[in-house]
Amino acid sequence: MSEPTFNVFDEQIRQEKATAPPVPGTPAGVLDSAAVNPFEEQIRRDREGQAGAIDVAFSATAGTTPERQAEVLRLGRASGLPADVVGRNVDEVSSRVAASEASRLLANSPELGAWYSDHGNAAVARDDVANLHGIAWAIWAPFHALWDKIREQETVARQFREYAGGGDEANRQRIAALEKAHGEKDYGAKTWWQRAYLAPWKMAPLIVGDLASRYLGYLSGAAIGGLGGGAAGGAAGAPVGGAGAVPGAAGS
């Protein structure tokens, strides 16, 4: 059997492959086709980190209900404390927030505040501050509306005095006090004389202005009706004028 023909070119290729240096950047033992993709490696690390964070979060909240966590977040917003601090001191933070909210609500309701200052009352109705405050506010709503009206009229009268050149420092200070009280809705202590709707001299401008506008409206309506249809037209026009006096009374 004859010897295989020796190919000098094949031998040269074999020797070059055997002595060729490794490809730069190729990890040892890893083929070129299986080289690590840096982007895929980053995604893998991110997923592993996220999975670890999820495990920690679920482990830390294993004994927490959604309702409790919602309460922790609410107390955190009300107190300005971080959620983790509130979570470790829920009862204490809740008590302080409730006291702060109660003080804020009762600031404009002195009678209710005095009632709540009794420890027995506070223990029984500590969860009903907002409801009782709403009831008290509704009861006093007519007084508040009337007090607002009187303050507005006094403010306008004093401002007119300023514009007319007859104001002084005391007048300007009173205007500032009225505007501040109106903005803060400060109605002061509700004494027995305030429950009688204030002193008569403060009510007089309202009553006189209302009656005057109604009377003038009646007369003007009668006159217009009389020009259009005599006495019958005057009688018919009077109610119209009286109805027209209502906006005038409201604007007084």
175, 196, 217 — which closes off a domain?
196
- Domain membership flag for residue 25: no
**Looking at the structure, do residues 71 and 112 belong to the same domain, yes or no?**
yes
Q: What is the pLDDT of residue 201?
A: 47
Q: What is the pLDDT of residue 82?
A: 84
Show the tokens assigned to 80.
Answer: 């300005």
Q: Give the whole-angstrom CA distance, residue 175 versus residue 28.
A: 88
Residue numbers of the chain with a pLDDT score lower than 50: 1, 29-33, 191-201, 203, 207, 210, 231-252
Q: What is the pLDDT of residue 151?
A: 80
Q: What is the pLDDT of residue 63?
A: 66
Residue carrying structure tokens 């670890």: 52
- In 3D space, the residue among 80, 77, 141 whose CA is nearest the CA of residue 108 turns out to be 141
Show the tokens assigned to 207.
Answer: 């009553």
Q: What is the pLDDT of residue 192?
A: 42
**Looking at the structure, do residues 170 and 130 belong to the same domain, yes or no?**
no
Q: What is the pLDDT of residue 196?
A: 46
**Looking at the structure, do residues 135 and 145 belong to the same domain, yes or no?**
no
- Domain membership flag for residue 154: yes
**Looking at the structure, do residues 145 and 99 belong to the same domain, yes or no?**
no
- Domain membership flag for residue 49: no
Q: What is the pLDDT of residue 100?
A: 82
- Domain membership flag for residue 50: no
Q: What is the pLDDT of residues 76-113, one digit of tens each?
A: 888 888 887 888 888 888 888 888 877 777 776 777 87
Do 221 and 244 touch, CB atoms closer than 8 A?
Answer: yes
Contacts of 107 (CB under 8 A, 6+ apart): 113
Q: Residue 163: give the domain boundaries.
A: 140-196
Show the tokens assigned to 97.
Answer: 């927030």
**Looking at the structure, do residues 70 and 132 belong to the same domain, yes or no?**
yes
**Which class for 161: exposed (0-12), middle (13-18), buried (19 or more C-beta within 10 A)?**
middle
Q: What is the pLDDT of residue 232?
A: 47
- Domain membership flag for residue 225: yes
Q: What is the pLDDT of residue 240?
A: 44
Q: Give the whole-angstrom CA distance, residue 237 versus residue 231.
A: 10
Q: What is the pLDDT of residue 88?
A: 81
**Looking at the structure, do residues 189 and 206 belong to the same domain, yes or no?**
no
196, 212, 230 — which closes off a domain?
196
Q: What is the pLDDT of residue 229?
A: 52
The domain total for the chain is 3
CB atoms within 10 A of CB 72: 21
102, 123, 139 — which closes off a domain?
139
Q: Give the whole-angstrom CA distance, residue 129 versus residue 98.
A: 9
**Chain Cα centroid distance, residue 55:** 36
Q: Give the whole-angstrom CA distance, residue 72 versus residue 180.
A: 36
- Domain membership flag for residue 103: yes
Q: Give the whole-angstrom CA distance, residue 84 versus residue 92.
A: 14
**Looking at the structure, do residues 130 and 192 belong to the same domain, yes or no?**
no
Q: Give the whole-angstrom CA distance, residue 41 versus residue 64.
A: 35
**Looking at the structure, do residues 70 and 121 belong to the same domain, yes or no?**
yes
Q: What is the pLDDT of residues 5-32, one digit of tens each?
A: 556 666 766 776 666 565 555 555 444 4
Q: What is the pLDDT of residue 46?
A: 78
**Looking at the structure, do residues 120 and 153 belong to the same domain, yes or no?**
no
- Domain membership flag for residue 26: no
